[in-house]
Amino acid sequence: MTMAVPKADKLGVSVTREPSLMTGAVPSKSWMDTPVEFKPGNFCYPAKKSIVEYHKFPNPRDWEPVADDWKLPANWKDIILQGIKERLDKFRSFKIFMDCCVRCGACADKCHFFLGTGDPKNMPVMRAELLRSIYRNNFTTAGKILGKLAGGREMTFGVLKEWFMYFYQCTECRRCSVFCPYGIDTAEITMMGRELLHLVGVNINWILEPAANSNRTGNHMGLQPHTIKDNIGYLCDDIEEITGVKITPTFNRKGAEILFITPSADIFAEPGIYTAMGYLLLFEHLGLDYTWSTYASEGGNFGLFTNNEMMKKLNGKMYAEAKRLGVKWILGGECGHMWRVIHQYMDTMNGPADFLEQPTSPITGTRFENAASTKMVHISEFTADLIKHKKLKLDPSRNNHRIVTFHDSCNPARAMGLIEEPREVIKAAANNFFEMPANTIREQTFCCGSGTGLNTDEIMELRMRAGLPRANAVQYVHDKHKVNTLACVCAIDRATLTSLMNYWVPGVEVCGVSELVGNALVMDGEKERETGLRFEPLAGEGE
């Protein structure tokens, strides 16, 4: 079931005209006195009972966010307060971010959800205050004495509803954190908020079901081993048709030098599959000794959007499989949140990876010093190194039909610092590249609006609103430079930006960086290419 989403021109007028804090209208009531109201379209569907049971999470049941009774456990308030206490003791970030905010407001208009909705509670500072007010009331001296005067408030059902609403209107993109003078990171707050909600059985299906699939089948899509092999086989068939080159990749092969892991969306749906075709062509071009895995067949990790235990559990497969297969190191595909987990959590959670070797490119001999401990390399790092050493035969004119801009995905940009590598790859693989305005790229990049498991159709209008800042910047280069291709290094982006472009900037296609590479690669024994990897006509062909 899809909610009726207003047409872009109508929503476009509404975001600029409707009174909101973004358009200069000040709400008459204090935020503490403004209850949330759930209605179809402004919330994600709750997790199915069977899925919650599968994860062995508390309080599995059927429930409705619009209902007055969420069937919470009788002592739910105590559970929440106890949960806050535990997390204050476990995470210094949480403790400091609860104490330090001075409400200077620098973060207020940095959030894509706020820019697109004008909803005051989408200002990062306000989102944190939803939780901070409870912290003050129950865990600080001033709050215990002065209560509301010190910005504290009682934990109530209304507060819980607010949390469910607004911790699922944050994509943990960390843009606010770039601007905060104390580095307060709303992603941390939202993560804590979601963990707390799980304690009383409040969660969404779009996150927990893929997480369940990933646990059981190895990937979010629930693709079983033979299906994975089949799907990649179909991609190889297409490659053969387009290039004349026959590729036969291996699966779960012990003794391969490299294990390759990418989000399962890349082998499942457009336009991710074209990115996967790019990987396949690249590895074939190099004669790389690598294998796919059907067991560790998911790069992404919806545990990051659930809680740290789930993140660890799902991530554990990568090292487990690398060890089982006896590979030397791991190469990772294009995905945003996947790389946040790999870069900032994996080694801590599931390391040390002492059974692997420090990654070294078998083609160039480059040792990836920056991955010395984790032993996992990003495909853009790997490819940029190949390009620098002139190991790839590229014909960038094959991408002449594409006028490209690059969307920095939140996590590579703000949780990894992977900014130049994909740009180097794009510039080598395509001739027409234009940057979006400076305030919307690199560490200031805007989220696609649907990250952290919010890429579900029932909140489409919200997603289109939250994606507006990104879309707007694409619109700018679309108008100015006729940009028709939005490249990115994220599987969620490839899916969500496609919806976003179709909505706000029709005529712009979304692709992975590796698709551009695959398109430009001159393969041994290939036939003359008449189309790109999407069977689209090349520049000068059929136009």
3 state DSSP class of 490: coil
150/363 with CB nearer other proteins: 150
Contact 318, 345 (CB under 8 A): no
252/452 with CB nearer other proteins: 252
531: contact with other proteins by CB under 8 A: no
Residue environment code for 101-130, b if the CB has 16+ CB neighbours within 10 A, otherwise e: beeeebbbebbbbbbbbbbbbbbbbbbbbb
Nearest to 79 by CA among 108, 104, 59, 49: 59
Here's the x/- map for other proteins, 476-515, by CB under 8 A: it reads as ----------------------------------------
Rule CB under 8 A: choose which of 68, 369, 524, 543 binds other proteins: 369
420: contact with other proteins by CB under 8 A: yes
129: contact with other proteins by CB under 8 A: yes
| Distance between CA atoms of residues 249 and 382, nearest Å | 19
Task: Report the site for other proteins in 202-221 (rule: CB under 8 A).
Answer: 209, 212-213, 215-218
Stretch that binds other proteins, among 264-272, 274-282, 362-370, 396-404 (CB under 8 A): 362-370
151: contact with other proteins by CB under 8 A: yes
372: contact with other proteins by CB under 8 A: yes
CB of 424 to other proteins, least distance (A): 8
Task: Report the site for other proteins in 46-75 (rule: CB under 8 A).
Answer: 48, 50-51, 54
CB of 199 to other proteins, least distance (A): 17
127: contact with other proteins by CB under 8 A: no
89: contact with other proteins by CB under 8 A: yes
**Omega prior to 362 cis, within 30 of 0:** no
Q: Which amino acid is at 22?
A: M
Task: Report the site for other proteins in 131-150 (rule: CB under 8 A).
Answer: 140-142, 149-150
Nearest to 50 by CA among 218, 216, 196: 216
Q: Alpha-carbon Rg of the chain, whole angstroms?
A: 23
255/525 with CB nearer other proteins: 255
Residues ≥6 apart with Cβ < 8 Å to 220: 210, 211, 213, 214, 263, 264, 265, 298, 300, 302
| Distance between CA atoms of residues 520 and 514, nearest Å | 10
210/512 with CB nearer other proteins: 210
| Distance between CA atoms of residues 31 and 449, nearest Å | 24
DSSP 445: P
Q: Say how many CA atoms lie within 13 Å of 265 toward its Cβ.
A: 23
CB of 435 to other proteins, least distance (A): 15
| Distance between CA atoms of residues 499 and 27, nearest Å | 32
Task: Report the site for other proteins in 221-260 (rule: CB under 8 A).
Answer: 222, 224-226, 229-230, 251-254
CB of 450 to other proteins, least distance (A): 18
Question: Which tokens belong to 516?
Answer: 């551009």
Rule CB under 8 A: choose which of 45, 63, 91, 157 binds other proteins: 91
Contact 247, 284 (CB under 8 A): yes
CB of 405 to other proteins, least distance (A): 16
Task: Report the site for other proteins in 399-418 (rule: CB under 8 A).
Answer: 413-418
Nearest to 298 by CA among 310, 309, 288: 310
CB of 17 to other proteins, least distance (A): 9
177: contact with other proteins by CB under 8 A: yes
458: contact with other proteins by CB under 8 A: no
Task: Report the site for other proteins in 255-284 (rule: CB under 8 A).
Answer: none
23: contact with other proteins by CB under 8 A: yes
